[in-house]
Amino acid sequence: MGNKFVFLILLILLGCSTRSADVLSEKFVSRPDIAEMTLEQKIAQMVMVRVSGNFYNDERNNKIKKLIQGHGVGGVITFGGSIHGTFHNMKMFNSWSNIP
């Protein structure tokens, strides 16, 4: 019984690694300091826009692009649509944002 307990503890400790923290630090994206943001930017970061999960045409894209780039909205919520359309749209929306 004692050997099984020691083996179990050893197995758990071996599973704990600090390597994943190193990987996370490499992927960290620097974000602007809140103190450097204007009041308008801070408020815009609290706003989320509702969009459909379907693929968008250019007219809809331009409206959403204006909200993201021009006003700096903080997020996008998708409703309905397809998983593929949502994935494509989110990649596009993130590329437009200064703060991913």
Show pLDDT as tens, one digit a residue, over the chain (100 residues). Answer: 677 877 778 778 777 765 655 555 556 556 667 888 899 999 999 999 998 888 777 788 888 999 999 999 999 998 888 888 889 889 999 999 887 6
Q: So what's the pLDDT on residue 8?
A: 77
Q: Is the dihedral of CA 96, 72, 56, 59 positive or negative?
A: negative
**Phi, psi values for residue 51, rounded to 5°:** -135, 160
Alpha-carbon distance of 64 to 53, in angstroms, equals: 13
pLDDT at 34: 81
Burial class (CB in 10 A: 0-12, 13-18, 19+), 96: middle
pLDDT of residue 52: 85
- Comparing CA positions, the residue from 73, 89, 78 lying closest to residue 51 is 78
pLDDT of residue 69: 92
Q: Would you give the DSSP letter of residue 73?
A: -
Are 87 and 99 in contact, with CB atoms under 8 Å apart?
Answer: no
What's the confidence (pLDDT) of residue 66? 92
pLDDT value at position 77? 92
